[in-house]
Chain A
Amino acid sequence: MPSRDQGTPGVESFEAFYRREYTRMVAIARALLRNGAAAEDLAQESFVTAHRHWDRIGAYDDPAAWVRRVLINRATSFQRRLGAEWRAVNRLGARADETTVPDLTPQTTEVWEEVRRLPRRQAQATVLHYVDQLSVEEIGAVMGCSSGAVKSHLHRARNRLGERLQDWDEEAR
């Protein structure tokens, strides 16, 4: 029996797709989440979901857009869950796991910390644009909104980051 990966003619094999997209998906997740291990898990889970429906998803014009969408949806859910867990742990007087992405410079860590403090849609658009190098139209396709909305999210995000990072730069001096 042929495997799902080799299935439909004209559809890229899941393996090739996975190899090409994996690092970038993890990068998106890591930019959105403080917890590096969770970021990798979420990226993996998103690929598993795609693999399960690869006959259909592999035939899309841009299967990677679908996986990115699943990934950012899961990242949002994860952050909500984490918020609840963090509060629960805090109530017990313990400290929640706040593993930071290893081996990044303090400046880089600071940037992504500030991105994570942005409103959710602004953070997502920012990460897709700067980490994944997607165009405004491509981001709109992933986030399911118009190009105008994406431009607005990016503009507001840059303004807000500009102010916050400037404060940070001044404090660092």
Chain B
Amino acid sequence: MKHLSPLEQIIEEAARELRQAARHSVPPPIDDRARSRIPSGWLVFATAFAVVILAMGLIPLLSGPGEPDGTLAEPTPSVPPVTTGIDVVDTTTTSIGSAVDDVCSATGLAVPGDQEGLPEPVAQTRKAIAEAAVDCHIDALGRLAGVGPNGRDGPELVTSFGGGGFMNIVEWEDDGEEPLELIVKLLDTPYAVQDYEELPTHYYWPSAFVYDSWEEIPPADLDALRTVYTQEELDQIAGFGSYAGWRIGITEDGEWRFFVAGD
């Protein structure tokens, strides 16, 4: 018999266990021949037995709630009443959750290096966002997004055109959608500058966002997207006609304004 190394043993055993679990997760097709082997007398008996059991269970329900002496029972509250004020959390303020997690989707990623040509406020915010994400420091990230006790006075970060602001990032991270990893990877792509008539100049990552059509995106900027997306994802985005994927926008004053996808 072949001798397996400890490593091979782990992988072989795991595969066996997984194969077995996967098999059981798919209900076997009903075999008509097997069904016909069940004696019909047993089916009649089983049905009658089930009817009796159901009827016994329904009797107390039909007679209504009450104690043995006939008085009505107190309904069980679904939420325990608050007895002291100590544990009451003010839900009217933004609660970001744990300040620092040991691990998150950006754990182990490197903070992207400096990029040439960025104004100092933009470069500082970019670095601070990446550092907070890599450190899984949700509170610090929230402050940069304009929420929390030390957040800026300006408008909150836009993460969805349907609303939700920074808390979307917290929820997405909790749901395993890895926004922090995405933020770090986006900030490591080339950037582009966009001037507006009535808005401050914005700096965008990735640069692909500022091109009107997919065909105009330079090959080097497209290659940079491959560090963020799979080919399948890129094909889907390309199908839209221009880059409408995730992008990060920071104003020339260093305000983090966008982490959003879509048109």
Binding site for B on A (CB under 8 A): 23-24, 26-27, 30-31, 46, 49, 60-62, 65-66, 69-71, 73-74, 77, 80-81, 83-84, 87, 101, 103-105, 107-108, 111-112, 115, 121, 126-127, 130-131, 141-146, 149-150, 153, 155, 158-159, 161-163, 165-166
Contact = CB atoms under 8 A, between A and B. Distances in A.
B239 to A, nearest CB: 18
B103 interface: yes
A83 B108 contact: no
9 nearest CB pairs, A to B: A70-B108, A145-B176, A162-B26, A161-B22, A108-B15, A158-B25, A111-B15, A162-B22, A130-B14
A115 B18 contact: yes
B10 interface: yes
B10 A24 contact: yes
Interface stretch (B79-87, B149-157, B224-232): B224-232
Given A26-B7, A83-B231, A161 B226 contact: no
Contacts of A161: 18-19, 22, 25
A127 B229 CA distance: 22
Interface string B4-19: 1111101110111111
B212 interface: no
B115 interface: no
Given A30-B7, A144-B105, A158 B231 contact: no
A153 B176 contact: yes
Contacts of A71: 108
Given A66-B103, A80-B230, A83-B230, A23 B176 contact: no
Interface of A is mostly: helix
Contact of B107 (A73, A77, A105): A73
A165 B6 contact: no
Interface residues of B, number: 44
Contacts of B101: 144
Contacts of B104: 144
A105 to B, nearest CB: 7
B107 A143 contact: no
B23 A166 contact: yes
A31 B102 contact: no
Contacts of B105: 73, 143-144
Given A80-B227, A115-B18, A104 B12 contact: yes
B104 to A, nearest CB: 4
Contacts of A62: 102
Interface in B1-50: 2, 4-8, 10-12, 14-19, 21-26
Contact of A158 (B14, B21, B103, B180): B21
A140 B180 CA distance: 16
Nearest to B19: A111
B174 interface: yes
B102 A108 contact: no
B194 to A, nearest CB: 27
B7 A23 contact: yes
B26 A163 contact: yes
Given A158-B25, A162-B26, 8 more contacts: A27-B14, A46-B108, A66-B102, A84-B226, A104-B8, A161-B18, A162-B22, A162-B24
B174 A145 contact: yes
Nearest to B171: A146
Contacts of A126: 18
18 contacts: A27-B10, A31-B14, A61-B102, A73-B105, A73-B109, A80-B229, A83-B230, A105-B12, A108-B12, A115-B18, A121-B176, A126-B18, A131-B10, A158-B25, A159-B26, A162-B25, A165-B19, A165-B23
